[in-house]
Amino acid sequence: MIKKLLLFFILSLAFTSVSSFAQTLDDFNYNNSVKSPFDLTPANINLKFAVKYQISQTSFIQVPDTLDHRLGTAMGTGVALFNDSISIPVSSYFIYDYVNGNGNFIDYYIFKFPNGSTFGVQALGVSSGANQTGANPLFQSTVRTTIGTGDFAGFTATGVMNGNRNEIVENNSVVRLNFEMKQVTSPIDNYTR
């Protein structure tokens, strides 16, 4: 009899905890303005976000004017973290002109949302502070949107980006970036449209 009462008590406690937890989730979802990646739109996206991606394809040519001068391209995939908790896939494409990992670059990032909407960002920047092997550079650039589709058609924003990479530009190297952009309501030129 005591075992049955104890079992009944444990089951009722578990049921009460699950009901309470479910109600907390309902309250949380009701109070959050952005509940899922499907809800991200130009009206509620936070343009201060982080990106982490891994380089998956690289190629370069050696320029014979100075030691370790490389002109190259690379591609990678990863995630962007919007509104502090929503992961969105991102693809990266970049061109660089580096001597020992330092120099100029042009990057393009394409963010793809679950409903098929996308927007692109172009970064024009400088890599500096790399060591003799070309590892551990810091990045700084200006950024602007290039094109948007779906919910992000006509979306324009500009800002800055900074970040780093612990290895040289090679397959499997990990890149970490921070973006801080602001939406532009009246574009200065047609390129950003």
CB atoms within 10 A of CB 128: 12
CA–centroid distance for 185 within its chain: 23
pLDDT, residue 36, reads 61
pLDDT at 134 over 70: yes
DSSP E strand stretches across the chain: 48-63, 69-82, 86-99, 102-112, 118-128, 138-149, 157-165, 174-183
Mean pLDDT of 11-27: 43
Mean pLDDT of 156-173: 94
Provide the token pair at 102. Answer: 């330092």
CB atoms within 10 A of CB 9: 10
pTM exceeds cut of 0.85:
no
pLDDT at 156 over 80: yes
Match domain 37-192 to its CATH number in 3.40.50.920, 3.30.499.10, 2.40.350.10, 3.40.50.1000: 2.40.350.10
Element at 13 (helix H, strand E)? helix 2-31
Element at 135 (helix H, strand E)? none
Domain segments of the chain as ranges: 1-31, 37-192
pLDDT at 7 over 50: no
Conformation bin of residue 23: beta by default, left when phi > 0, alpha when psi is -120 to 50: alpha
